[in-house]
Structure 1
Amino acid sequence: MSNFNWKVGRSNYQILRTGCFPYIKYHCSRKREEDLTTSDRFMRVIKVVNFGIPCLLYGLAATQLIRHTEIVHTSRGPVTIYFLLPEHKGSTY
């Protein structure tokens, strides 16, 4: 899925993501829940029509630009998350 809702406690987050080899690019916004089926299908069609080439180029460029990392400890072990810009801890919308 490219565009979907993700419930966390009482909050809802809308996730927009795509594969950008060798990374996954995502955007997360705290918003009210809505039907994202049409948006998800539209994103999928765009990726198929352009053969994923823009995503590949974006990912390859990102390998040279990304400088910030954070390690998140999960039940399955540590996961490194890469950021183009440093994350602003405690920021609000």
Structure 2
Amino acid sequence: MIRIFRGKSAAKPTSSEVLTSYLLQCKEPPWTSYFVKYSSVIDDQWGKSHFNWQVGASNYHILRTGCYPYMKYHCTKRPLDNLSFEDAFFRFIKVFNLGIPCLVYGIAATYLISHKEVVKTCKGDVNIYFLYKEDKGSLY
């Protein structure tokens, strides 16, 4: 049983691989905001709330939160910066609120999501979800 579980999880891409693949797939957009299901990826960015992410020639500030059954990513192309204070602050807020607002956001998202796209990774395709279809390359 454990062997089967490991085999299935090993076949999933990591959340960081989906993040990188999507940003490259969109040719490093100025910003994007999407949801990915926990069940579709291995969460290798657990505990990170606000951090830098290097993709190609760009650096992104990533705001990330768990909102079961999804993980929410908001990515903005920005210069490299020390985000450790903001990361700790957002993590504190989530813990202080017992994660209840995040759970409510995830439940609401299941009803509000109106667009889906496919991200190609080396471990297969992953669906990501949007509240509305984005205008790729738009500044806003």
- TM-score for both structures, normalised by structure 2: 0.63
- Look up the match of 1:15: 62
- Look up the match of 1:90: 137
**Counterpart code for 1:62:** A
- Look up the match of 1:59: 106
The count of residues paired between Structure 1 and Structure 2 equals: 93
Q: State the shift of 1:49 in Å.
A: 0.4
RMSD: 1.2
Q: State the shift of 1:91 in Å.
A: 2.5
What is the rounded CA distance, in whole Å, between the counterparts of 1:64 and 1:92 in structure 2?
26
Which runs of no fewer than 5 residues in structure 1 stay unpaired? none
Aligned-partner SS, 1:39: helix
Return the structure number with greater strand share. 1
Q: State the shift of 1:87 in Å.
A: 1.5
Q: Indicate which of 94, 109, 116 corresponds to 1:69.
A: 116
- TM-score for both structures, normalised by structure 1: 0.93
Return the structure number with greater helix share. 2
What is the rounded CA distance, in whole Å, between the counterparts of 1:82 and 1:55 in structure 2?
17
**Counterpart code for 2:78:** K
Identity level (%): 60
- Look up the match of 1:39: 86
Q: State the shift of 1:92 in Å.
A: 4.2
Which runs of no fewer than 5 residues in structure 2 stay unpaired? 1-47
Structure number with the bigger relative contact order (C-alpha 8 A, sep ≥ 6) is 2
What is the rounded CA distance, in whole Å, between the counterparts of 1:47 and 1:91 in structure 2?
30
